Amino acid sequence: MTFLRRFAIRHCSLSRGLGALSSASLGAPGSVTLHRLGVEKLPSRGRPFTGHNDTHTSWLHTETPESVEVDLKRLDGEDTGIAEVLMCRQKAKNALGRVFVSQMRELVSSLHHDSAVRVVVFRSLVQGVFCAGADLKERAEMNHSDSDLFVHGLRSLMTEIALLPMPTVAAVDGFALGGGLELALACDLRTAANSAQMGLIETTRGLLPGAGGSQRLPRAVGFALAKELIFTGRRVDGQRAVDMGLVNRATEQNSDGDAAYREALSLAREILPQAPIAVRMAKEAMNRGMEVDITSGMAIERMCYARVIPTRDRQEGMAAFIEKRPPRYTGE
């Protein structure tokens, strides 16, 4: 058996300051290969590579680390069912460039059909930044047609994120500007550090929000306030954002710079024990219902409810209530 004695690697799924792997055996029994980028899931030994508890999955990428700008981590142990989309385009502060968008689209597409994932957390591994928005250097090299096509693709990516069947949480620990805030708005829930800065600043660059922001911000905070924020290009911090309903929770930043992520993980853990089919159907009922009149919305609710009735989870929920015990939902 081949042993990895000591190997330093720069990789998206490693937290800031962690780069050394030790005493991990490759090809060990029980190892799992994640399909997207040739990731080998390694049996945990000692302290995990990332995260803040011993349930977090450890893995090693097998392709060139510099090519990874967006990665996927599935948590295990008590957190099984939580997946994290890790944004790690360090030099460009997670700017929405071609490679970044392509990798994000691939990961999101894989999550659409993954019934094992119950909650997805979008987070950044770049200190002080969630997503800086458009990659202006790339955009400057595009002609009018290329720029229009790229923004159309970006808009469709945000729609794909919004259409994920399971709840999604954006953890905003730093700047989320322009397209970065549009990415957060595409998620169901948002947490933020009080020091975070958020804004649709496109009008200050001669543009308007083009990846769904002009539609999702009014739905989040109301039309009058959304117009004020977009017309002025104003930025707001985490506390102001929670006051206006832009984010669900705001918290003081910590010394590690990941307070919003910890809050998002806490929120994901509250969702995790609930019946996954019921949660997905509740999301579909609300998302589709808010786009139509209330009578049509009631019809949508009825259809979603009908899909829950024959599930084993519904029977388990009733049995657990009668037997006065916690339910054990399987997603069936």
Active site residues: 134, 179, 182, 202
* Residue of 86, 121, 158 whose CA lies nearest to 248: 121
Contact by Cβ (8 Å): 34, 41: yes
User: How far does Cα 22 stand from its chain's mean position?
Assistant: 29
Tokens encoding 277: 């089919």
Count Cα atoms within 13 angstroms, Cβ side, for 318: 7
Order the strands of the 32-34 sheet from edge to edge.
Answer: 32-34, 39-42, 58-61
Q: Is 5 helix (H, G, I), strand (E, B) or coil?
A: strand
